[in-house]
A and B are shown apart, each in its own frame.
Chain A
Amino acid sequence: MPNFIDRRLNPKDKSLGNRQRFLRRARDELKRAINERVRSGKIDAVGEDQVIPIPRKGIGEPTFQRAPHSGRREEVLPGNKTFGTGDRIPRPAAGGGKGSDPSSSGDGEDDFNFVLSREEVLDLFFEDLELPDLVKLNLKEVVTFRPRRAGFTMSGNPTSISVGRTMFNSFGRRIALRRPRQAEIDAVAAELAKLEGERRPSAAILQRIAALREELATLARRRKLIPYIDPIDIRFNRFEPQPVPNANAVMFCLMDVSGSMGEREKDLAKRFFVLLHLFLKRRYAKTDIVFIRHTHEASEVDEDTFFYSTQSGGTVVSTALDEMLRVIRERYPAKEWNIYAAQASDGDNIPNDSEKCVSMLDSTLMRLCQYYAYVEIIDERESEMFRHADNGTSLWNAYREVSAEWPNFEMTRIAKPSDIYPVFHELFAKAPAPAKRG
């Protein structure tokens, strides 16, 4: 009988450490591949598991190897059919599938496919990005408290009584003070009853009966004096309020859906929103998204309506800001939520409304928001014209005032899908020397 061992339930992922080391090793290649993928426009897929091909060269394990076709060598092969001694076989062209090629066992794969999990992709993808405005984040971090068990206490709420600990104390006290047990009393009472039952008790028995009666009385008294559970036994579970970092974020997506925003503009905006959402999701335990679309009036809608249904009308941007303010007041108190907003627009607005927007942002919204990003989607032809920040649409010009005043307000322009990631990167890039604040 050999020693059989069932190892199937042993912890899995014995090679996890090796995988992490490998990831670190191939990090640059992986990063390049992922960024490439995002640039080529498959943003929706960023949040999924990815198969990333890595060129072998960065991760080779060199040794001294014999060059395959150098010098003279002899090999024995099976399955001769027609050859005779001295036959000459023309050498096949380079890379021909001749079985005698020793490198043929390597499958000839140039690339090495690597499946990355969603977390690994996001980690690489957002590696050098940082949440802006850490000051506010730190201030907000400690706002909610959650009770945490912290030992026992003598006083408390009856509902939080700790039965186990209470009985434990009572038991110890009863032993220490020698509280008579029921069994002892019963034994004495039984003996007494038996003796009393004697028809003609002798003097010794009578004496014994008297002693037993007295003992029984003492026991009963002790039992009464020493209660089963005394108030000093009672313990309550103690809870301490523990600060919990605020882990909720809400993201407002504001978009102009008036006639001037075509499919292309909406698509670009969507890509930007998706990136922002993924980014926030990595940071916060809970991330809500609120979609607000506007023409000359604004409304909160669901995602599909937001991106895919059309509505015609003029353009009044301030209505969207109004709506956002309303939603914040109603559902997302700034004390408890980290509020992010991203606004996408083509920059059109009716005259005089831009000023109204600026004053709204200045007076209330920017105080509530952790971060506000304004993305203007422009025509590719316009991108030349608007290369400098100082010319732009009416909204752009108005927002520049806000941007100057509020460090957590960012604005940028996007003309084509390949701009999005660099722009995003620029918006959230880590400060070169991260100043520790708070």
Chain B
Amino acid sequence: MEKRSKQLPLLFTSSDWNFDDLSRAYDAIREIAVNELRLDFYPNQIEVISSEQMLDAYSSIGMPLMYQHWSFGKHFVHESNLYRKGRMGLAYELVINSNPCITYLMEENTMALQTLVIAHASFGHNHFFKNNYLFQQWTDAGAILPYMEFAKSFIARCEERYSPAAVEAVLDAAHALMPQAVFRYRRRPRLSVERERARIRERLEHEERTFSDLWRTLPQAAEAEAPREVQTDMSERQSAIEYPEENLLYFLEKNSPVLKPWQREILRIVRVIAQYFYPQRQTKVMNEGCATFVHYTIMNSLYDKGQISEGTMLEVLQNHSNVVFQPHFDDPRYGGLNPYTLGFNMMRDIQRICTEPTAEDRDWFPDFAGNGDWCGTLLDAWATHRDESFIRQFLSPALIRDMRLFSLQEESSDPYYEVMAIHDERGYERVRSSLANSYDVGMTQPDIQAVDADLKGDRKLRIKHTVHNGATLVEETRNETIRYIQRLWGHEVSLVGVDAQTDKVLYEVSSKELGEKA
């Protein structure tokens, strides 16, 4: 860093921020992001908020607009308890995958931190949101905020019309199924708020138009006609169902015999939100790694050009090293692999392999080792991978050695853990694939699908849990969740656990046996 050439004036000198400094810093960062890193991002909208507003945003899963539900109140209380006790610092920023991309800055941050955060969120995350194939395929950044506005007002209207308790009952059940409310293979649902609104309006208008008080006065005998009609309706629906269906909320929304239109609409809203967050669940390491790599590179570049002072750089580095701190497995502070660290290390490693490869790197990564274009290699990786494939593709032996990664296997029947692989010649492959698997949502989420529903007969809904590697479910929450499914389905629901290899039935629970909530 001695060869630092003072060509440009400092962007700011005070540690307190103001809007002039912010916009000057933004322009300088943008310059680097576009010219040196070749980033491509949505237009930015940067909002300054207070710590309390940050807590608000936290508790409504990071969305600026969210419908109301008690669980968000619970999270708010929990987060603010932790915050008050000083056990948890608030994130310096929050970024929303929308177009324009919204970044929240905390007002307490110093100017140095704000600069870091703008580089991290408004450029790093923003670029990733816009370019990663999962986000492109599954989310619609332009439509999410209007959709959330629609969802919020729709649910508020439902509360007015059908009582908050009735809405809460549906939302509770829908939230329980949120992890099972994702299409993994189908195309994302297209969100068009106008169309959505029109659809609902039409439905309500139809209801109102066809409502006639006279029907109430008709003699009871007419009711005898009804069951047959219901019967044909049911058999039509029966034949329309496709099995198996992994998106349980979708299944219930379309096929539940008891739900009213507004309840189906609520399920749809919850499902759409779950789907929107699905890519984020699959790209934690890459997303955070990308943002961290971007801020690191940009801040260093700013420093090299003399645009930020040594003091600022020290503050930035201190925060940076807090973010990428990885305690060892035997450290009391250990809480799993830090996605920031893993992502950032891997990307720095790719940069190294591109520019100064060793013989081993050339052996392992013949495609890009020594190609000199680290930026292009990374841009490509960011666009075309998710965590699992990224690790499988790019985790190098050098990094495995560096982080001293090892793979541990746990078999519930054995009284010990077994070390399957360590950072040696025999172990690299195993460590790499085992780490990649642990980021594969398909492997970590239980495989639960609706397999049969008898709409014409006793209306029993059968759900199958395919048990891989003997991993069962926590009984208490499983039973609670089944009760919730029964609430949405209206009739008996049974869950069967079947071993994936042997097809042996491991357990079977039915909502009938569970009874009502204890």
Contacts and interface: CB of A to CB of B under 8 A. Distances in A.
Contacts of A23: 73
Contact of A63 (B47, B176, B327): B176
Contacts of A199: none
B5 interface: no
Nearest to B479: A62
Contacts of A70: 412, 470-472
B437 A74 contact: yes
Residue of B412, B423, B465 with highest tally of chain A CB at under 10 A? B412
Contact of A66 (B48, B431, B435, B473): B473
A91 B415 contact: yes
A90 to B, nearest CB: 5
Contacts of B326: 78-79
A72 B501 CA distance: 13
Contacts of A65: 446, 473-474, 477-478
Given A2-B26, A2-B122, A61-B71, A79 B410 contact: no
Interface string B404-419: 1111111110111111
Interface in A66-101: 66-81, 83-91, 97, 99-100
A99 B330 contact: yes
Contacts of B265: none
Interface string B39-69: 0000111111110110110011000000011
B89 to A, nearest CB: 15
A8 B417 contact: no
B419 A85 contact: yes
Interface stretch (B233-241, B252-260, B333-341, B350-358): B333-341
Given A70-B470, A105-B335, A21 B406 contact: no
B422 A80 contact: yes
B88 to A, nearest CB: 10
A21 B164 contact: yes
A15 B64 CA distance: 11
Given A72-B412, A83-B406, A10 B74 contact: no
Contacts of B104: 7
Contacts of B476: 62
Contacts of B3: none
Contact of B438 (A3, A74, A83, A113): A74
Contact of A61 (B175, B417, B421, B422): B175
Residue of A15, A21, A68 with highest tally of chain B CB at under 10 A? A15
A102 B408 CA distance: 14
Given A71-B472, A85-B426, A91-B416, A21 B69 contact: yes
Given A62-B176, A70-B472, A25 B77 contact: no
Q: How large is the interface on A (under 10, 10 to 19, 20 to 34, 35 or more residues)?
A: 35 or more
Contacts of B176: 61-63
B107 to A, nearest CB: 6
A20 interface: yes
Contact of B474 (A7, A66, A77): A66
A60 interface: yes
Contact of A2 (B23, B403, B418, B475): B23
A12 interface: yes
B179 interface: yes
A48 to B, nearest CB: 17
A169 B451 CA distance: 80
B404 A79 contact: yes
B477 A62 contact: yes
A181 interface: no
B54 to A, nearest CB: 10
A1 B26 contact: yes
A5 B48 contact: yes
A74 B434 contact: yes
Nearest to A86: B419
Given A89-B416, A90-B416, A4 B471 contact: no
A159 interface: no
B471 A18 contact: no
Contact of B337 (A19, A25, A78): A78
Closest 6 interchain pairs by CB?
A79-B328, A71-B470, A22-B73, A18-B73, A62-B480, A62-B477
Given A4-B23, A67-B473, A89-B408, 16 more contacts: A1-B27, A3-B46, A10-B53, A12-B53, A15-B73, A18-B69, A19-B73, A20-B73, A60-B480, A66-B474, A73-B410, A79-B328, A87-B418, A88-B416, A91-B416, A97-B332
